[in-house]
A and B are shown apart, each in its own frame.
Chain A
C-alpha cells in the first residue's frame, strides 16, 4: 500500500504544480492578489506531497518490498540498512524523485523566508519554480515511475552496485543535486526579473543566498565525488574529465562567475544583462548534465541506464526552459537600464575579466564534452577527448584568472589603483617566484607545469592573506584596533578569504598529485618487499574476511620508512556474491606531504597477488582546499545582510563585502 500512497502523492503534486505554474503568474500579470497569494501555500503543499512520496519510496527500500521494481533492481535483503536507504537515490527513478524533492524544498524555503520580497517577484519566481516541478514530475510519472510494481513478486533483489555501497556515495548525489537544483532558484528569479523588466541591487541581494547555497553544495558535491573516485575506484586518480564530471563542473564554473558578477549588480548596479544570462545558463548546465547522464547520448562511466525516450523528454524540457528564457532574454534584456560606470582599472573590471576567463573556460570544457557527439552526428566518426585537450585549453585560461584573483580584491570599486595593489603584492610575488624556483630545482623530470602550479598557489594564498591584513590594518594599527576590525569584518568578506585560500591550497594539491605521482605494480609473494622513495613495503599475508554481504581478501602490508616502522596497510578486495562483482578498497595513509596508497588486485599465482602502490604527493591538500572553499560558502551564507527577511540592513556606506 505504501507504494500506492506514494504514487498518489506524486500525482497530486503533479496537478498541484500545474496550478502553481499558472495561477500566480497570471495573478501577478493581472494584479489578482489571491491568485498571487496561492504561490505560498502551493509551495508548502508541493513539499508535503513530494516529501511524502520520497519517504514512501525510502520505506519501500527499508522494508525490502521487492514488488516495487526499483527496489528489486537496486536493493537486496542482506544489504546494510544505510545502503538500503542510499539505494533510494542510487538509481535513475529514485534520484529523479530526490531531484524533485529538493526542488520542492527550495520552493518552500523561498515561500517561507521570502517575506520581504516584492509580492509580484515572489509570485513569478515561485510560478517558474512550479513549471520546473511540473516538467520533472511529468517526466517521472510518464517515463520513469519509481513506484512501478512487478508481478510476480521476486523473492530477492538484485542489489545495489557494490561500487555505490559506500558512505561517500550516500552523500555525493544529494549534495550535487542540492547544487544543481539550487540553480533552479536563481533561474526562477532571473526569469521573474526579466518578466518584470527590472534588475537592481535589491534583486541581486535577494538572489545571492540561493546562488551561494547552490555553489556551496555543488562545491562540496564535486569534491566528495572526486574523493570517492580516489579511494573507492582504486586507480589512484581523482578526476578524469569524463563527460559526466564535466557536466557537474560546468555549472560550477558558471555558478562561480555568477556569484562574482552578482556582487557587481549588488554594489554597483552594473552588468545586469550578463548576470541574468549567467543565472539562466547555470541552470541550463544543470539540465544539460541531467540530459547527458540519463539519455545515453554519450558514453560515460557514470551514466544511468540509457534510454533514448527519456533522453528526448529531457531534451524537450531543456529546450523549453532555455528556449523560453533565452527568448525572453533576447526580448527584454536590451531594455535593462545600464547601471553605474566604472574605470578600466577597478574592482568591477577585475570581476568582468574573472567572468570572461570563467566563461571561456566553461566553453573549452563544453566543446571537449560535446565534440565526440558532434563528430559522430555530423561525420559518423568516433573520437574521445581526454586530459590533453583540457590541459591545453582550460588550464591556460585559469592561469591569468588565478593571477587576477589576488589583485582584484585589492582594487577599489569604480576606480582602482593598480600600481598600489601590485606594490602591496610584491612580497607575495617574490615568494611565489622563489617557490617556483625551489620546485624547479627539486624536480627531476616532472612536468614544467609543476613550478607554475606551485607558484600560482603560493601567489593566491599570500595575496589573499595580504588582502585580509589590509582590511584589519595589521602592522599599521594597534593590535586592539586590528582585533576590532577582524571581528567586525562582514562574514561575506571572510567567506571570500576562506574560499580563495581553499582554492590556493587545492591548486598546490592538484599540481603535486598530477606532477609527482609515482606507482609500482608487482606480483608479490608473502615476504616480498618493494621500496619506493623512503618507504619499504613488505607483503605479510592475506586473510579472508567476511562482511555483511561480501567476502574479502584482506592483505597486510608492513610499511617502514628509512628502516623504522611507519604503518601497516590493509587493502582489501571484496567479492559481492549477489552481483558477482569485485571492488577494491584502497588502504591510504595520509600525511601533510601526501598519501601512500595501496591496492591489491587479483591473485597472480598460487601464493602471489598483484599489489599496486602509489605515492600521491599533496593529495590531502585537495580535500583540505575543497573543504575550505565550501566552508567559505557557508560563512558567507551566514552573513546577516543576505539573510532573507532581515528587515533593517546596514547603511550603504558600511557595506564592504566581497
Chain B
C-alpha cells in the first residue's frame, strides 16, 4: 500500500481508535460521575467527636487502630440511610469488623430517637454536628461509607447508599483481603 493510499485510510484508523475508546467507556462498571477519594491510600484524618451516649467515651482516631474498620456517615433526616441501615448490621455480623457511625449535622435528640427505633449496628457513634470531620473526610453527603485497614489507612470510599450488590461486588472482596 502506497503512502498516499495510507493517508486516505487515516480517517478510518482514527475512527477505530475512537470506537475502541468509546466502547471501553461504555463498560457498565465505569461511572463517569465517580470521583476517587483523594484519601484512598492515605491515613485517616485526625478527629475526636463527642459520643451519642453522654456516659460513653469519645469516638477518636485512636479507636481505629489495630483492626479493620468501617466508618459510616449517617443522619436521622436522611432516607437512604434508613434504607441501608440493615446492611450495616450484616457487615458487622458477617465480617466481624468494627462499624463506627458518625452522625452528620443532626440534632442529638433526633439521632437518639433514630438509633432507638432502628437499632444500632455501630460499635461506637460520634456526633459531627458542625460537619467539620465530614469536611476532612471529603464527604459530599450522607450516607457515605469508608473502609479502613488495620493501620488506619483509607482503602475504600462509597458515596452512595450501600446495596447488597455493592457489598458482594466491592466490599466483600476488600474485607476478605484485609482480613488476611
Q: Contact: B32 with A334, CB < 8 Å?
A: no
Q: Which residues of B contact A297 (CB under 8 A)?
A: 22, 25-26, 32
- State whether A376 and B11 are in contact (beta carbons under 8 Å apart), knowing that A296-B32, A298-B32, A299-B33 are contacts in the complex: no
- State whether A311 and B12 are in contact (beta carbons under 8 Å apart), knowing that A299-B32, A299-B33 are contacts in the complex: no
**A241 sits at the interface (CB 8 A):** no
Q: Contact: B30 with A326, CB < 8 Å?
A: no
Q: Which residues of A contact B35 (CB under 8 A)?
A: 382
Q: Contact: B21 with A319, CB < 8 Å?
A: no
Q: How far is the CA of A582 from the CA of B88 in the complex (A)?
A: 35
Q: Contact: A315 with B22, CB < 8 Å?
A: yes
**B140 sits at the interface (CB 8 A):** no
- State whether A373 and B11 are in contact (beta carbons under 8 Å apart), knowing that A297-B26, A308-B26, A334-B4 are contacts in the complex: no
Q: Which residues of B contact A299 (CB under 8 A)?
A: 32-33
Q: Contact: B25 with A329, CB < 8 Å?
A: no
Annotate B1-34 by CB proximity to A: 1 below 8 A, 0 otherwise. Answer: 0001100110110011011011111111010111
Minimum-distance CB pairs A-B, first 8: A326-B12, A330-B9, A297-B25, A377-B24, A326-B11, A330-B8, A299-B32, A311-B26
Q: Contact: B12 with A323, CB < 8 Å?
A: yes
Q: Contact: A370 with B21, CB < 8 Å?
A: yes
Task: Select A376's contact among B5, B18, B25, beta carbons within 8 Å.
Answer: B25
**B56 sits at the interface (CB 8 A):** no
**B168 sits at the interface (CB 8 A):** no
Q: Which residues of B contact A333 (CB under 8 A)?
A: 8
Task: Select A330's contact among B12, B24, B27, B33, beta carbons within 8 Å.
Answer: B12
Q: Count of B residues near A, CB < 8 Å?
A: 24
Q: Contact: A374 with B12, CB < 8 Å?
A: no
Q: Contact: A376 with B32, CB < 8 Å?
A: yes
Q: Contact: B11 with A315, CB < 8 Å?
A: no
Q: Contact: B26 with A330, CB < 8 Å?
A: no
**A624 sits at the interface (CB 8 A):** no
Q: How far is the CA of A281 from the CA of B27 in the complex (A)?
A: 26
Q: Which residues of B contact A329 (CB under 8 A)?
A: 8, 11-12
Q: Contact: B32 with A377, CB < 8 Å?
A: no
Q: Contact: B15 with A373, CB < 8 Å?
A: no
Q: Which residues of A contact B16 (CB under 8 A)?
A: 323
Q: Contact: A373 with B8, CB < 8 Å?
A: no
Task: Select A312's contact among B9, B12, B26, beta carbons within 8 Å.
Answer: B26
Q: Contact: A373 with B4, CB < 8 Å?
A: no
Q: Which residues of B contact A291 (CB under 8 A)?
A: 22
**A295 sits at the interface (CB 8 A):** yes
Q: Which residues of B contact A330 (CB under 8 A)?
A: 5, 8-9, 11-12
Contact sample, A vs B, 7 pairs, CB 8 Å cutoff:
A291-B22, A315-B23, A318-B19, A319-B15, A333-B8, A370-B18, A382-B36
- State whether A374 and B32 are in contact (beta carbons under 8 Å apart), knowing that A323-B15, A326-B15, A329-B8 are contacts in the complex: no
Nearest to A277 among chain B residues (CB) is B11
**A322 sits at the interface (CB 8 A):** yes
Q: How far is the CA of A315 from the CA of B36 in the complex (A)?
A: 27
**A273 sits at the interface (CB 8 A):** yes
The minimal Cβ–Cβ distance linking B83 to chain A, given in whole angstroms, is 20
The minimal Cβ–Cβ distance linking A360 to chain B, given in whole angstroms, is 15
Q: How far is the CA of A330 from the CA of B5 in the complex (A)?
A: 7
**A327 sits at the interface (CB 8 A):** yes
Q: Contact: A315 with B8, CB < 8 Å?
A: no
The minimal Cβ–Cβ distance linking A186 to chain B, given in whole angstroms, is 16
Annotate A333-353 by CB proximity to B: 1 below 8 A, 0 otherwise. Answer: 110000000000000000000
Task: Select B19's contact among A277, A319, A382, beta carbons within 8 Å.
Answer: A319
The minimal Cβ–Cβ distance linking A514 to chain B, given in whole angstroms, is 28
Q: Which residues of A contact B11 (CB under 8 A)?
A: 277, 280-281, 322, 326, 329-330
Nearest to B35 among chain A residues (CB) is A382
The minimal Cβ–Cβ distance linking B23 to chain A, given in whole angstroms, is 6
Annotate A606-644 by CB proximity to B: 1 below 8 A, 0 otherwise. Answer: 000000000000000000000000000000000000000
Q: Which residues of B contact A382 (CB under 8 A)?
A: 34-36
The minimal Cβ–Cβ distance linking A310 to chain B, given in whole angstroms, is 10
- State whether A373 and B22 are in contact (beta carbons under 8 Å apart), knowing that A298-B32, A382-B36 are contacts in the complex: yes
Q: Which residues of A contact B9 (CB under 8 A)?
A: 330
Q: A277-B11, A329-B12 are in contact. List 6 more A-B contacts (CB 8 A).
A: A322-B12, A323-B15, A327-B12, A333-B8, A370-B18, A373-B25
The minimal Cβ–Cβ distance linking A371 to chain B, given in whole angstroms, is 10
Annotate A286-314 by CB proximity to B: 1 below 8 A, 0 otherwise. Answer: 00000100011111000000001001100
Q: Which residues of B contact A281 (CB under 8 A)?
A: 11
Nearest to A315 among chain B residues (CB) is B22
Q: How far is the CA of A376 from the CA of B27 in the complex (A)?
A: 11
Q: Which of A348-385 contact B (CB under 8 A)?
A: 370, 372-374, 376-377, 382
The minimal Cβ–Cβ distance linking A283 to chain B, given in whole angstroms, is 13
Q: How far is the CA of A537 from the CA of B33 in the complex (A)?
A: 40
The minimal Cβ–Cβ distance linking B41 to chain A, given in whole angstroms, is 14
Task: Select A334's contact among B5, B18, B26, beta carbons within 8 Å.
Answer: B5
The minimal Cβ–Cβ distance linking A328 to chain B, given in whole angstroms, is 10
The minimal Cβ–Cβ distance linking B31 to chain A, given in whole angstroms, is 9
Q: Which of B81-130 contact A (CB under 8 A)?
A: none
Nearest to A311 among chain B residues (CB) is B26
Q: Contact: A377 with B15, CB < 8 Å?
A: no
Nearest to A334 among chain B residues (CB) is B8
Q: Contact: B26 with A315, CB < 8 Å?
A: yes
Q: How far is the CA of A374 from the CA of B28 in the complex (A)?
A: 16
Annotate A264-292 by CB proximity to B: 1 below 8 A, 0 otherwise. Answer: 00000000010001001100100000010
Q: Which residues of A contact B36 (CB under 8 A)?
A: 382
Task: Select A374's contact among B8, B21, B26, beta carbons within 8 Å.
Answer: B21
The minimal Cβ–Cβ distance linking A254 to chain B, given in whole angstroms, is 12
Q: Which residues of A contact B4 (CB under 8 A)?
A: 334
The minimal Cβ–Cβ distance linking B174 to chain A, given in whole angstroms, is 16
The minimal Cβ–Cβ distance linking B30 to chain A, given in whole angstroms, is 7
The minimal Cβ–Cβ distance linking A324 to chain B, given in whole angstroms, is 10
Of B11, B19, B23, most A-chain CB atoms within 10 Å: B11
Q: How far is the CA of A100 from the CA of B8 in the complex (A)?
A: 31
The minimal Cβ–Cβ distance linking A525 to chain B, given in whole angstroms, is 26
Nearest to B10 among chain A residues (CB) is A330
Q: How far is the CA of A322 from the CA of B28 in the complex (A)?
A: 25
Q: Contact: A295 with B26, CB < 8 Å?
A: yes
Task: Select A322's contact among B5, B15, B24, beta carbons within 8 Å.
Answer: B15
Q: Which residues of A contact B21 (CB under 8 A)?
A: 370, 373-374, 377
Q: How far is the CA of A322 from the CA of B21 in the complex (A)?
A: 15
